[in-house]
Structure 1
Amino acid sequence: MKTRITKAIFPVAGLGTRFLPATKSIPKEIMTLVDR
């Protein structure tokens, strides 16, 4: 049986200006990358 990874943590730095306006309400560190 294979183990499926359901969550991962990516240490990130910076202000998150490329993700605006999403990073105004949610910190970049906890944003959802893929929603399946």
Structure 2
Amino acid sequence: MEAHGGGLRRILVLAFCVAGIWSAYIYQGILQETL
């Protein structure tokens, strides 16, 4: 059960990192388009 929880937490952190990178990439693109 501990291993399953660790895997779930790892997936959650990975998804959070991907979302952060995507948001930063999109934000930079919108900022460049605006400027």
TM-score for the superposition, normalised by structure 1: 0.16
Looking at secondary structure, tell me which structure has more helix per residue.
2
Higher relative contact order (CA 8 A, sep 6+): 1
- Structure 1 or 2, whichever has the larger Rg, is 2
TM-score for the superposition, normalised by structure 2: 0.16
